[in-house]
Amino acid sequence: MIFNSEQLSVYFIAGTQDIKWGTLPHILEQALKAGITCFQYREKGSGSLKGQAMKEMARTCQKLCRQYQIPFIINDDVALALELNADGIHVGQDDQAIQEVLALFPNKIVGLSCYDQAEVMNANALPAISYYGIGPIYGTQSKQDAKAPIGPDKLQELTKLSTKPVVAIGGISLANRQTLRKTGIDGISVISALTQAENLAAAVQALR
């Protein structure tokens, strides 16, 4: 799948541990119908699937994304992304070295998490990276080891430094999305704003 920055606009991230009611495939299909532009499968933390169950869930989500022609990205798990021939992978600074990941995923979407100026500048030196996930912007419940929030002003500063498209990550909600859209980013990524939405379709539209 050819990457373009518009695919970052409404970037949905979720795993089974994020689902409070219903199932991940049901929530994902609702979100796809409503207009999300990218999906990242992130199975991490308390209550997450392991082994074969995780692989089967990933395949189910991948089929849905293909049906709606939306990129299917896997978080961190290089082996799973290769086995499923996912559209791409997203890694953090403490995961497998980005140079190794880029070598394993030629012609795929590769996202890298960045937190500060040094990480952005280092990433700028690697032209094969597709996009940066910058954050956390606000406090987040989805990551136990999350760093201190950088806030929208720092986000704007780092986005200006970035030579690649930027998706904002961390604590993003319907209440703060308009502030972030003014910082020059290409998109916003959300978990609970959709998995816990009373009206998922309306939430997706509000995030656009």
Q: Which CATH number does the domain housing residue 198 bear? A: 3.20.20.70
Active site residue 59: no
Question: For this structure, is 143 an active site residue?
Answer: yes
Per the structure block, which two tokens stand in for 155?
Answer: 């986000």
Q: Which residues of the chain have pLDDT under 50?
A: none
CA 127/CA 125 separation, integer angstroms: 6
Structure tokens at 106: 């030629």
Contact 72, 86 (CB under 8 A): yes
Q: Which residue among 44, 55, 143, 147 is the active-site one?
A: 143
Query: In whole angstroms, what is the distance from residue 153 CA to residue 156 CA?
Result: 5
Expressed as residue numbers, the domain containing 88 is: 5-207
Counting the structural domains of the chain, the total is 1
Q: Specify the pLDDT at position 142.
A: 61
| Confidence at residue 1, expressed as pLDDT on a 0 to 100 scale | 84
**Residues present in the chain in total:** 208
Catalytic (active site) residue 113: yes
DSSP class of residue 31 equals H
pLDDT on residue 28: 98
How far is CA 79 from each of CA 6, 20, 30, 75, 202, rounded to the nearest angstrom? 27, 28, 28, 11, 35
Angle at Cα 42 formed by Cα 85 and Cα 175, nearest 5°? 130
Beta bridge partners of 111: 90, 131
